[in-house]
Each structure stands twice: as C-alpha cells, then as structure tokens.
Amino acid sequence: MKTFSYVMGLIAVLGTCMGCRPKRIEPVKPEENTSSIYDISIRTLDSSALINLSDYKGKYLVIVNTASECGYTYQYKDLQEFYSKYKDSGVAVIGCPCNQFGGQEPGTAEEIGSFCQKNYGVTFPLSEKIDVKGEHQHPLYQWLTQKQKNGVADFEVSWNFNKFIISPEGKLVQYFGSKVKPGDYMFLKAVNK
C-alpha cells in the first residue's frame, strides 16, 4: 500500500512539471468541402453562349483538352464516334481547345470550329480556348486537377487529349492520359458502357 501511495504521489508531482503536462491535441480537421462541378460554366467556342455544367446532371461527362495540330488530333474522330454512339444513353463530351502544349492549337475560334467540323464532323460542344494549367487556369480545370475542389486527387494535365470523366452525380471518377482512346475497354468501363 505504501508503494502505491508513493507512486501516486510521484505521478502527481511529475504531472505538475512543465514537460509532463499533456499537450492539448487539436481535433483533426476534415478536408475542406469540395465544390460542385455543376457550379461551373464555360463559354462556347465562339463565346456566344455559356455551357452550364449543371445542364449535364444525370449524365456521364467526358471533358477533354484538345488541339488541332497534335499527334493525338485523330482522337477527335474517336471522340465523335463515342459521342454519336452514346449521347442518347446518358453520356456527353465537351472539348476544351488549349494552346499550352507545343503551341498546337494556334487558331482562332472560327478556324478551330471549321477544322473540327470539316475534318472530323465534330458535333459535341467545344468551349472557348482556355488554359488548363498555370496562372490563368480556367476554373473548370482548377476543379478537375485540385483535390481540394474535386475531393478525389490532384492531377496534372500533361499533354493534349487528357480525359476526365465525371459521374452522373457530379463526382470525378476517372482521369486518362492522351494515349487512352474513347473506345478503349478501361475508358468505356469508366462510363459504364
């Protein structure tokens, strides 16, 4: 009993010294609330209207940064075929022309639109030419590439024809680099096809 009393007294004395006081542990803060992709709009290629992403609620949405003079430009054909095949079954595509990779999208809005229509028969919406990275990154690509906003992960758009897939509920579900084509098994699986 004396030993127990001695130990308890020692603990009480030691507990009062500065180094022995327990430090206050701050609660872990949950991640900041992610924003909704449906709060974002982007101008059409000719800047005459807005593409409101909220209009795509309930659909899989494929967002692709595009370029007219790239080795992957042939994917416009693949994207158009994909869009034509699945647009009536809950899938949409938006192309976002970008000139940040090798200067491979130098044209005006009219030139880009004409090129896409003439060479690939593109009927899916094209946005205005935007920056997908860097200081002037468009808010759409801020959401796509920043975990703080999309709630999934940070991504870096590495070249033309990178693809982001958004679920019908507005969640980022998949990111694919340039080499993955819209007809590839993994791509189709990501849009439930």
Q: Which of 17, 70, 96, 98 is an active site residue?
A: 70
pLDDT digits (tens, 9 = 90+) for 146-185: 999 999 999 999 999 999 999 999 999 999 999 999 999 9
Range of the domain at 184: 37-190
Count of structural domains, the chain: 1
Q: Which amino acid is at 66?
A: T
| 63 domain residue, yes or no | yes
Q: What is the mean pLDDT of residues 62-76?
A: 97
Task: Report the CATH number at residue 146.
Answer: 3.40.30.10
Lowest mean pLDDT of 26-35, 39-48, 55-64, 90-99, name the range: 26-35
**Does the predicted TM-score (pTM) go above 0.75?**
yes
Please calculate the CA angle 80-83-88 and round it to the nearest 5 degrees. Answer: 150
Instruction: Note if 70 is an active site residue.
Output: yes
CB count in 10 Å sphere of residue 153: 10
| Residue pLDDT, tens place only, 1-40 | 544 444 444 444 444 444 444 334 343 333 455 689 999 9
